[in-house]
Amino acid sequence: AQSVTQPDIHITVSEGASLELRCNYSYGATPYLFWYVQSPGQGLQLLLKYFSGDTLVQGIKGFEAEFKRSQSSFNLRKPSVHWSDAAEYFCAARGGGYNKLIFGAGTRLAVHP
Amino acid sequence: ETGVTQSPTHLIKTRGQQVTLRCSSQSGHNTVSWYQQALGQGPQFIFQYYREEENGRGNFPPRFSGLQFPNYSSELNVNALELDDSALYLCASSTLTSGGPGGGELFFGEGSRLTVL
């Protein structure tokens, strides 16, 4: 069955530290991959997406993600975290065809001053 | 600001009642999909509408139904509400292509939070 796994439920980092959020997928073929961020009381905002080509993808707010086919992973990174990055982050995948996204359970990020 | 608006933002119902949630899609988008996000979980795909017809459905019972109107706005209806239906319901609009990467970045609304007592 198709699935997306985010192994870390909660992560706490200090402001200015680097960040890596993990995401693994299980699909029959390489899916399209996405990272979304959700702030409290708000909807989902797309940070970045991977369809094909360069395996290092740049997104908004200084985020990047690296696709590794051999590890079925699509980890999100940021070199220096800001307090405003505190939110919940969701990895998602989509096969071809219609726009059904399969989401991971999310990782809640807390940022200490 | 995605241009996708949902109403109501919050509502409380009791078991057995029915609820209708509404979504106005972003201008130029012809596809609407609905997701259920239970507390502490990722969103789960309910269904998608394209040109006023359902063209994809997740693992939800028939008491979850929807409509899409000629202006591409949409409704989600849930009958015979159960306690487990308490969740944030997210609407997302997009453009549908025949697959491929251009097929619709999803733009999400802020959701309707439903509490069933």
Give the DSSP per-residue string, A42-85: --EEEEEEE-SS-SEEE-GGG-EEEEEGGGTEEEEEESS--GGG
Q: Percent of chain B having pLDDT more than 70?
A: 91
Beta bridge partners of A88: A38, A108
Q: Which residue of A has its CA nearest to B93?
A: A99
Taking only residues 20 to 59 of chain A, the set having a beta carbon closer than 8 angstroms to any beta carbon of chain B reads 32, 36, 41-46, 49, 51-52
Residue B33 pLDDT more than 70?
A: yes
User: Nearest CA of chain A to the CA of B4: how many Å?
Assistant: 10
Q: How confident is the model over B38-64, as a mean pLDDT? A: 92
CA atoms within 13 A on the CB side of B2: 25
Q: Pick the residue with more confidence: B74 or B26?
A: B74
Closest to A3 (Cα-Cα) out of A36, A25, A34, A28: A25
Give how far A102 is from chain B: nearest CA, Å: 7
Task: Please give the full DSSP string across B2-60, using - where no structure is assigned.
Answer: -S-EEE-SEEEE-TT--EEEEEEPPTT--EEEEEEE-TTS--EEEEEEETTEEEEE-S-
Label residue B30 by pLDDT band (50, 70, 90).
confident
Contact B31 A99 (CB under 8 A): yes
Of residues B11 and B99, more confidently modeled: B11
Reply yes or no on whether the pLDDT at B1 is more than 80: no
At residue B95, does pLDDT exceed 80? Answer: no
Omega before residue B8 within 30° of 0, cis = yes
Find the residue in A nearest to B96 (Cα). A98
**What is the per-residue pLDDT for A97?**
56
Q: Residue B75: beta bridge partners?
A: B22, B67
Contact between A103 and B103 using a beta-carbon 8 Å cutoff: no
The closest alpha carbon to B7, from B111, B114, B116, belongs to B111
Q: In this predicted model, which residue has the larger pLDDT, B28 or B112?
A: B112
Rg (chain B; Cα; Å): 14
B28, with CB counted inside 10 A (0-12, 13-18, 19+), is exposed
Confidence of residue B96 (pLDDT cuts 50, 70, 90): low
Residues (pLDDT < 70) of chain A are: 95-99
> What is the spatial distance between Cα A38 and Cα A88, in angstroms, rounded to a whole number?
5
For residue A10, the chain B residue with the least C-alpha distance is B40
The whole-number pLDDT of residue A69 equals 92
